[in-house]
């Protein structure tokens, strides 16, 4: 009697640690199966697993934190110094900072030159032509309004206005100015300390320590139009894991515009440009709870490490 051959293994759909390994789905016709575990493994779009490339130490091995690309150069922190890092890896310290604090950056322009804004909950400032300056109050546009300099927050983001998270308050600047703030009125309040602020075309994705929100629309106090703080999930983001990604790279059909990818203890999520929350891994991957992490997007892959 002839028997049809069974493909033992021809590819994988990735990790599934929510199901007992003996219960993982297997298709004997195709040989496609979920993996119960994998270490240093990449899976491409065809389902082929391969070993992840290793690491090679560079000539420079000192510890760096809070790295950020500024175009032709970079910045980062080394000990208690904020440094400019040149393309050849030489560096110059430009100011003292709190050595243990996590830095948040935004690269923008003042209309004539690049400006990199930074804040870490203890210090803030802006870098112009590789020199650090105070983030002081800007030129006032009204004699009847009281303006303040940028508050020292722990997260910053730019979407038409500058947004600065300080504990559970999200301040926003005057329109078309990163240096003017009305602290008595121009802010949103959340239930707990903010972990993520990421801008997309349709609004802001925000996470405090308890939940994820989408603030859709524009800020226009003159006609009382303000974004609604719509709760999207009852779980928070791991701070530092949010990354902007081209939506066209997501899934088989892609998504419109720039989206945000971030990690939670319920899975890796996608926040679309129009306020849709997609939990891409909830059904298959159980992640541990984490307060912080680090995310990046490289070679078509979202890569995340959580503490």
Q: Is 181 exposed, middle or buried (0-12, 13-18, 19+ CB in 10 A)?
A: buried
In degrees and rounded to multiples of 5, residue 78 shows phi and psi of -130, 105
State the average pLDDT for the chain.
91
CB proximity list for 30: less than 8 A, separation 6 or greater: 7, 10, 11
Structure tokens at 22: 């003996």
- pTM of the predicted structure, to 2 decimals: 0.90
Best-predicted range by mean pLDDT among 93-107, 220-234, 288-302?
93-107
CB proximity list for 39: less than 8 A, separation 6 or greater: none
Burial 90-129 (b: 16+ CB within 10 A, else e): ebeebbebeeebbbbbbeeeeeeeebbbbbbbebbbbbee
pLDDT class for 38, splitting at 50, 70, 90? confident
Evaluate if residue 60 carries a pLDDT over 70: yes
Q: Which tens digits make up the pLDDT trace of 117-137? A: 999 999 999 999 999 999 999
Evaluate if residue 24 carries a pLDDT over 80: yes
Which pLDDT belongs to residue 224? 63
Q: CB pairs under 8 A, 24+ apart, for 60-68?
A: 60/89, 65/102, 65/103, 66/102, 66/103, 66/120, 68/103, 68/105, 68/107, 68/116, 68/118
Structure tokens at 238: 């791991």
DSSP H helices, 37-132, are none
Query: Per-residue pLDDT averaged across 62-80, rounded?
Result: 94
Q: Are the beta carbons of 118 and 102 closer than 8 angstroms?
A: no
SS3 (DSSP) at 22 = helix
Round to whole Å and give the CA distance between 39 and 51: 8
Which element (helix H / strand E) includes 28? Answer: none
Round to whole Å and give the CA distance between 184 and 145: 11
Which pLDDT belongs to residue 61? 80
Q: Which tens digits make up the pLDDT trace of 179-236? A: 999 999 999 999 999 999 999 999 999 999 999 999 998 888 776 678 889 999 999 9
Domain boundaries defined on the chain? 11-47, 62-189
Structure tokens at 229: 């703080």
Which pLDDT belongs to residue 1? 53
């Amino acid at each position: 009697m002839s028997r049809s051959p069974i493909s033992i293994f021809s590819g994988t759909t990735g990790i599934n640690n929510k199901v007992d390994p003996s219960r993982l789905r297997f298709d004997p016709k195709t040989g496609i199966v979920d993996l119960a575990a994998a270490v240093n493994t990449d899976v491409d779009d065809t389902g082929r697993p391969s070993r992840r490339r290793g690491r090679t130490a560079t000539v420079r091995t000192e510890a760096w934190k809070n790295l950020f690309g500024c175009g032709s150069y970079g910045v980062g922190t080394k000990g208690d110094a904020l440094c400019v890092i040149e393309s050849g890896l030489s560096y110059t310290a430009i100011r003292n900072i709190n050595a243990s604090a996590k830095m948040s950056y935004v690269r923008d322009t003042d209309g004539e030159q690049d400006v990199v804004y930074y804040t870490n909950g203890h210090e803030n400032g802006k870098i112009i032509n590789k020199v650090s300056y105070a983030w002081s109050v800007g030129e006032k546009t009204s004699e009847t309004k009281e303006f303040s300099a940028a508050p020292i927050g722990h997260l910053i983001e730019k979407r038409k206005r500058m947004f600065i998270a300080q504990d559970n308050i999200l301040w926003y600047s005057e329109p078309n100015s990163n240096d003017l703030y009305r602290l008595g009125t121009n802010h949103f309040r959340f239930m707990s300390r903010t972990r993520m602020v990421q801008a997309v075309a349709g609004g802001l994705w925000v996470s405090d320590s308890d939940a994820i929100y989408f603030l859709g629309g524009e800020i226009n106090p003159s006609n009382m139009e303000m974004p609604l703080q719509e709760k999207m999930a009852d779980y928070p983001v791991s701070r530092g894991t949010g990354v902007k990604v081209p939506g066209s790279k997501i899934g088989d059909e892609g998504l419109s515009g720039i989206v945000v990818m971030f990690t939670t203890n319920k899975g890796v999520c996608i926040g679309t440009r129009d306020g849709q929350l997609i939990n891409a891994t909830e059904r298959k991957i159980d992640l541990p709870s984490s307060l912080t992490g680090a995310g990046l997007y490289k070679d078509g892959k979202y890569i995340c490490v959580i503490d």
